[in-house]
Amino acid sequence: MANNYQAATELQKSGWSIYPLSPGTKIPIKGSSGWNDATNDSNQINEWWTEDATRNIGLMLEDHQMVVVDLDQHSETRNGVENYKKLASMYDPFPSTYTEITPGKGIHFFFKIPDGVIIQQETGAFADIFGRDDKGKSLSGIDIITKGVPIAPTMIISRSVGRAYEPIENVSLNNIAPAPDWLVNLLLKKPQEIKTQYRPVAKTGTAKKLDMIVQGAGEGSRNDHLTKLCGWLLWHGVDNQTLAELIYTANAYNEPPLKDKEVNQIIRSMIKKDLRGKAHGS
């Protein structure tokens, strides 16, 4: 993995508030509070990346009155890039600004927002324009990030393959454009969703499984820990790539982690079991 010490110190010198992420992931380091720990303090930043120079880097957007528009391309029916093109045709294209390609081939556009304006973080923004599926999930493929976000040269490792956040268009992080008025107005005027009583119950169960990912397991229970987590993710319809990324992330918190060969075996075995179950159920 890359040595990110120089990148972290250069960001500090440029005035950015940053925080450390675990090597090869987007997960905050153990014992930290993620973006809530973000700072521009040179001593703290030096300490974080001296302890482990391969730590990834997160940027605290809120400290700099910024947002990121995240275009994902997870499926044909939920394609943020194509839906951005529709927004651009309805209003105007985004101005030139600092932009990154993500490891998942998404696009992050960085924008400044006016002083005093508060934009809420949102998954599946513009659902009123692009609609929702039969489960109520937005079809936009566009997220609005207002807190912390991984930035280049952060590298995400999945199935032993590393992919980095990469700047494009030769625009630096110091050249971030103001968000266009139409974008700010859309975000400020979006309708508020009414939450049902069911949501907190579902979220509680999901939160427990998310806790499982970062709690890890010790020798003697690591296989069972990953197998149960794998089964739960498959039952909830997670695709195979996301499944592998989450299981490898969970394994990184085991003490000690299982070898990649063993993790691969668990994933393959559970996918086969899931496919057999679906075949019998059809």
The least confident of 116-120, 259-263, 277-281 is 277-281
Region 32-58: what's the mean pLDDT?
A: 96
Can you give the pLDDT at residue 160?
64
- Per DSSP bridges, beta strands 107-112 and 56-60 are unpaired
Contacts of 32 (CB under 8 A, 6+ apart): 19, 20
Q: Is the pTM of this model over 0.85?
A: no
Can you give the pLDDT at residue 35?
94
Can you give the pLDDT at residue 213?
74
Highest mean pLDDT among 103-112, 198-207, 268-277: 103-112
Region 103-118: what's the mean pLDDT?
A: 93
| CB-CB contact of 125 with 144 (8 Å) | yes
Highest mean pLDDT among 6-20, 76-90, 161-175, 204-218: 6-20
Q: How many CB atoms lie within 10 A of CB 105?
A: 12
| CB-CB contact of 163 with 156 (8 Å) | yes
Region 223-236: what's the mean pLDDT?
A: 87
Contacts of 270 (CB under 8 A, 6+ apart): 227, 230, 231, 234
In this model, does residue 187 exceed pLDDT 70? yes
Average pLDDT over all residues of the chain: 87
Can you give the pLDDT at residue 182?
92
Can you give the pLDDT at residue 171?
77
In this model, does residue 131 exceed pLDDT 70? yes
Sign of CA dihedral 264, 269, 275, 278: negative
Can you give the pLDDT at residue 201?
38
| Confidence band of 235 (pLDDT split at 50, 70, 90) | confident
Q: How far apart are CA 186 and CA 141, in angstroms?
A: 16
Share of residues in the chain with pLDDT > 90 (%):
58
Region 99-118: what's the mean pLDDT?
A: 93
Amino acid at 134: D
